[in-house]
């Protein structure tokens, strides 16, 4: 009986619900639109699904209301049913007449217009205004101004128009005042701060913005700190916490890193085994970059994997992978490592897609990839490709993602890039004891028209030297790994008071890599020299060499580079050999050979020793070698002496005559002087020893000998944002009586 009652109740409930639905169904015979002035009624009707002659429910009416609001054209919408008539009443959003910004000084109006999505003559949209407000706030936060506020104001005008004004209060810059590390024992606070991208605020950092807080940079700092420990012997490193605290006034951030360094490890036994019968592991053991006793380094493990993977690929073993197996011994603080050569999954690259390169051409990106369509999938090559793209400097961020292809043995590589500005315009000024006050204007574009070419121009003016240089560099000439360049130059020099030299010329060159460490550059230079305004008191040798000369010179330079860094080396060495021949036409005819080298060594942390040496020879290929083509030493090439102040001279006038033989050696130590690392200032002590001899001019009035000169001194080196500035004070302690000394030297070179 109870079961029958329940069934009856359910049927009654269903019938009741059905009757309610039927009661809410309305037959719409006509639709009335009101309130619209600018938007046609037919346009409004096209946005709703209900049509005359159809039936509609309350849900359909509500949906019509939502659809009209979603267009963004209306400030208010009302939809109601009156009998069989659907009444739609709208209030149109005004048209934007003008967009203005008030209170902005750090960001120009043009920058703001580029970033926001609002434009004049568009329909006002509350959603777009909120998005524009948020985007402006993000731009100020990227500058470190977290206290910035943006208030949008809408000013109503006639004819349903309006002005939109963003009232901006930029606030003060939110600097990182202090970076703290808790738990560090092996490395000092200053050393760990150097490993971070973010820097503490200093008054002299006005030229950079890495002392302002950036959440993305803060996340990258955590990864940089982790990588630093992994590369310096701490595989057990753990980050306990990373907290960015802002002060109540929004003016300062304090970054706190709580870490557990773990024990310091060195490598124990190092081995290589092959789990593939046809691969002989002994053949690849010389490629291991790790030795027993070396400090544990994740970077060296990764580099070893890359080298062995490349070697296997070159020998036709495409489907292999190198797996490092490590065993830690906490009691001895050693890590044993065995690299296993294993069969890798047989997956091929089906397709490579590139995203985010709105400016850079696809082929510029593809030529930096070490993996291509049809190749075996190789994670080592993918990582190197990613690094190659980052090293270009064209992109703020690069990521290569592996996606599933059309079949399980196919993969798609998605290269995601985020472009950044590659153009630079710089103005710099300084003082040089060689050339006096100087100023430089420099333009540099490292990705010209998205083709990966470098275009540069420079104008430098000083009291004794003025020059202009324009050029272009093509890193892949003829579609090959040949770096081609073309430079046009002109300069005027009065470094020697006895005459003025004006030179104009053109110099193309081609550079290429022979091995990983050996490269060569082939060059050709054609130039015209004009020596004029020769003083009546000048040497008779100089007075006989006035006028114009054409030099047609071909040359080559070999570079063998084993430095740990090209920018700031601390170990390794670099050797150079330059040879040139002038005589392919023109009046100047000679051979020139220069051999040079530098060895770097760091006996203790932060102290770098450098031993430098160079030897040069010039030989006649015609009747004579002009004085202006000869070698000159002094100033920055031999401190303690004026430019041209040592070597062959005219006894009667004291004019330098240059030489065709020289050698110079330098021993130098650079070290911190107690200033914060952010200053970029280091101290130096040095000694220069060498000589120059064998002038092309001979006779009783020429003083020419192989007398060895020597000097010693101290210096300051500042890696400024405008370029390296160096101040040296040198004292010659071995010199010839005709030599001209110069103890104080200021050198300034603007960055290209």
Residues 647-671 pLDDT 10s: 999 988 888 999 999 999 999 999 9
Distance between CA atoms of residues 491 and 505, nearest Å: 9
Residue at token pair 């010329």: 505
Question: What residue has token string 């470098």?
Answer: 454
Distance CA 499, CA 539 (A): 10
What percent of the chain is modeled with pLDDT above 90?
39
Are residues 594 and 568 part of one domain? yes
448 and 543 share a domain?
Answer: yes
pLDDT tens across 189-198, in order? Answer: 888 988 898 8
pLDDT over 50 at 502, yes or no: yes
Residue 488 has pLDDT above 60, yes or no: yes
pLDDT band at 11 (very low <50, low <70, confident <90, very high): very low
Q: Is 42 inside any structural domain? A: yes
Note whether residue 738 is domain-resident: yes
Q: Return the structure tokens found at 563.
A: 């430095």
- Contact (CB, 8 A) for 171 and 140: yes
Which domain, by its residues, includes 633?
423-748
Residue 412 sits in the same domain as residue 429: no
408, 294: one domain: no
Q: What is the pLDDT of residues 593-639, one digit of tens each?
A: 999 999 999 888 789 999 999 999 999 998 889 988 999 998 889 99
Per-residue model confidence (pLDDT) at position 419: 84
Q: What is the pLDDT of residue 685?
A: 97
For residue 669, the cross-strand partners are: 609, 685
Based on the fold, state whether residues 513 and 612 are members of the same structural domain: yes
pLDDT of residue 612: 97
The answer on pLDDT for 7 being more than 70 is: no
| pLDDT at res. 16 | 40
Q: Indicate whether 581 belongs to any domain.
A: yes
Query: In this structure, are 128 and 79 located in the same domain?
Result: no
Which of 295, 306, 225 is CA-nearest to residue 260?
Answer: 225
Residue 1 resides in a domain: no
Within-domain flag for 502: yes
Which stretch of 23-27, 574-578, 618-622 has the lowest confidence by average pLDDT? 23-27
Q: How confident is the model at residue 699, as a pLDDT?
A: 86
**Residues 565, 192: Cα–Cα separation, whole Å:** 20
> What integer best gives the mean pLDDT of the chain?
86
Which CATH number goes with the domain that contains 81? Answer: 3.10.20.310
Choose the final residue of a domain: 395, 419, 443: 419
Cα(401)–Cα(353) distance, integer angstroms: 10
Residue 692, pLDDT > 60, answer yes
Tell which of 122, 149, 169 closes a domain.
169
The pair of three-digit structure tokens given for residue 482, joined into one six-digit string: 């040949």
- Same-domain check for residues 216 and 187: yes
Lowest mean pLDDT across 260-264, 372-376, 525-529, 682-686: 372-376
> What confidence score (pLDDT) does residue 204 get?
64
Q: With 50 as the cut, is the pLDDT of residue 118 above it?
A: yes
Q: What pLDDT score was predicted for residue 85?
A: 87
Residue-level pLDDT at 743: 87
pLDDT higher at 188 or 379: 188
Q: Assess whether 538 and 487 both reside in one domain.
A: yes
- Assigned domain for 5 exists: no
Same domain, 298 and 222: no
Q: Which residues pair with 49 in a beta bridge?
A: none
Per-residue pLDDT at 5:
43
Given a cut of 60, whether residue 2 has pLDDT beyond it is no
pLDDT value at residue 575: 97
C-alpha span between 355 and 403 (Å, rounded): 14
Higher pLDDT, 391 or 578: 578
Which three-class secondary structure string do you get for 397-438? EEEEEEEECCCCCEEEEEEEEEECCCEEEEEEEEEECCCEEE
pLDDT confidence of residue 534:
86
Give the range with max mean pLDDT: 138-142, 383-387, 663-667, 734-738.
663-667
For residue 518, report the phi and psi dihedrals to the nearest 5 degrees.
Answer: -110, 130
Interatomic CA distance for residues 103 and 124, integer angstroms? 22
Among 92, 115, 133, residue at a domain's last position: 92
Local confidence band at 25 (pLDDT 50, 70, 90 cut-offs): confident
Would residue 4 count as lying in a domain? no
pLDDT of residue 119: 85
Q: How many domains does the chain have?
A: 6
More confident of the two residues 433 and 62: 62
CATH number at residue 657: 2.40.160.50
pLDDT-derived band at 437, boundaries 50, 70, 90: confident
* Distance between CA atoms of residues 130 and 99, nearest Å: 14
> Are 559 and 618 found together in one domain?
yes
In a domain? residue 3 = no
Q: Are 632 and 658 in contact (CB under 8 A)?
A: yes
Reported as type and span, the H/E element at residue 258 is strand 252-260
- Residues 409 and 436 occupy one common structural domain: no
pLDDT at 174: 84
pLDDT above 90 for 12:
no
Tokens, residue 298: 């994740």
Distances (CA, A) of 276 to 280, 322, 341, 519: 8, 11, 7, 36
pLDDT band at 744 (very low <50, low <70, confident <90, very high): confident
Digit-coded pLDDT (tens) for 67-116? 888 877 887 888 888 888 888 888 888 889 999 999 998 888 888 888 88
- 747 vs 730: CA distance, rounded Å: 13
Gap between the Cα atoms of 268 and 274, Å rounded? 20
Are 538 and 651 in the same domain? yes
- Is the confidence at residue 645, as pLDDT, over 80? yes
pLDDT band at 278 (very low <50, low <70, confident <90, very high): confident
Cα of first residue to Cα of last residue in the chain, in angstroms, is 97
How far from the centroid of its chain's Cα atoms is residue 220's Cα?
16
């Amino acid at each position: 009986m109870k079961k029958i009652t329940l069934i009856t109740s359910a049927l009654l409930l269903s019938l009741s619900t059905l009757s309610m639905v039927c009661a809410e169904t309305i037959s719409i015979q006509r639709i009335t639109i009101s309130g619209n002035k600018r938007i046609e009624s037919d346009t409004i009707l096209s946005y709703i699904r209900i049509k005359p002659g159809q039936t509609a429910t309350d849900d359909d009416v509500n949906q019509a209301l939502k659809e009209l609001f979603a267009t963004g054209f209306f400030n208010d919408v009302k939809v109601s049913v009156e009998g069989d008539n659907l009444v739609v009443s709208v209030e149109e959003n005004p048209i934007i007449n003008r967009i203005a910004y008030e209170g902005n000084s750090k960001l120009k109006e043009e920058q703001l217009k580029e970033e926001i999505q609002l434009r004049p003559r568009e329909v006002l949209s509350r959603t777009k205004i909120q998005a524009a407000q948020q985007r402006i706030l993000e731009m100020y936060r990227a500058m470190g101004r977290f206290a910035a506020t943006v208030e949008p104001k809408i000013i109503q005008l006639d004819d349903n128009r309006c002005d939109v004004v963003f009232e901006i209060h930029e606030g003060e810059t939110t600097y990182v005042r202090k970076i703290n590390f808790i738990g560090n024992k092996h490395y000092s606070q200053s050393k760990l701060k150097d490993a971070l991208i973010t820097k503490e605020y200093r008054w002299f950092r006005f030229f950079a913005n890495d002392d302002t807080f950036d959440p993305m940079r803060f996340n990258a700092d955590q990864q940089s700190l982790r990588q630093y420990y992994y590369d310096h012997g701490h595989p057990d490193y753990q980050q306990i916490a990373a907290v960015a605290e802002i002060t109540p006034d929004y003016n300062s951030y304090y970054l706190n890193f709580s870490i557990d360094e773990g024990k310091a490890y060195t490598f124990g036994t190092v081995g290589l085994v092959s789990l593939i019968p046809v691969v002989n592991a002994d053949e690849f053991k010389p490629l291991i970059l790790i030795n027993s006793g070396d400090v544990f380094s994740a970077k060296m493990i990764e580099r070893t994997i890359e080298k062995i993977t490349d070697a296997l690929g070159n020998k036709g073993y495409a489907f292999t992978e190198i797996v490092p197996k490590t065993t830690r011994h906490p009691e001895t603080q050693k890590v044993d490592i065995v690299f296993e050569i294993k069969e890798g999954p047989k997956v091929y690259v089906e397709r490579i897609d590139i995203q985010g390169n709105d400016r850079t051409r696809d082929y510029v990106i593809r030529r930096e990839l070490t993996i291509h369509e049809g190749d075996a999938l190789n994670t080592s090559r993918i990582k190197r490709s990613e690094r190659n793209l980052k090293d270009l400097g064209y992109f703020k961020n690069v990521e290569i993602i592996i996606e599933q292809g059309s079949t399980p043995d196919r993969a798609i590589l998605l290269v995601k890039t985020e472009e950044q500005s590659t153009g630079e315009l710089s103005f710099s000024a300084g003082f040089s004891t060689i050339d006096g006050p100087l100023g430089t204007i420099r333009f540099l574009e490292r990705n010209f028209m998205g083709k990966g070419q470098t275009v540069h121009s420079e104008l430098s003016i000083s009291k004794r030297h003025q020059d202009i240089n324009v050029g272009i560099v093509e890193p892949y000439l003829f579609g090959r790994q040949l770096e081609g360049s073309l430079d046009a130059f002109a300069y005027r020099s009065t470094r020697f008071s006895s005459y003025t030299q004006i030179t104009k010329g053109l110099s193309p060159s081609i550079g290429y890599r022979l091995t990983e460490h050996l490269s060569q550059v082939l060059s050709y230079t054609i130039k015209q020299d004009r020596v004029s305004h020769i003083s009546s008191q000048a040497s008779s040798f100089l007075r006989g060499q006035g006028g114009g000369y054409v030099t047609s010179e071909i040359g080559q330079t070999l570079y063998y580079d084993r430095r740990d860094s090209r920018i700031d080396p601390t170990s390794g060495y670099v050797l150079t050999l330059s040879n040139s021949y002038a005589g392919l036409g023109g009046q100047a005819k000679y051979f020139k050979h220069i051999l040079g080298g530098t060895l770097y060594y760091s006996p203790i942390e932060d102290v770098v020793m450098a031993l430098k040496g160079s030897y040069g020879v010039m030989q006649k290929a015609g009747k004579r070698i002009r004085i202006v083509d000869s070698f000159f030493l002094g100033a920055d090439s031999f401190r303690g002496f004026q430019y041209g102040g040592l070597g062959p001279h005219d006894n009667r006038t004291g004019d330098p005559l240059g030489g065709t033989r020289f050698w110079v050696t330098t021993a130098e130590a650079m070290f911190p002087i107690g200033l914060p690392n952010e200053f970029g200032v280091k101290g130096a002590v040095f000694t220069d020893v060498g000589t120059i001899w064998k002038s092309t001019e001979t006779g009783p009035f020429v003083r020419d000998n192989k007398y060895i000169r020597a000097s010693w001194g101290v210096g300051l080196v500042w890696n400024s944002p405008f370029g390296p500035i160096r101040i040296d004070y040198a004292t010659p302690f071995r010199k010839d009586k005709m030599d001209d000394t110069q103890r104080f030297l200021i050198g300034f070179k603007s960055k290209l």
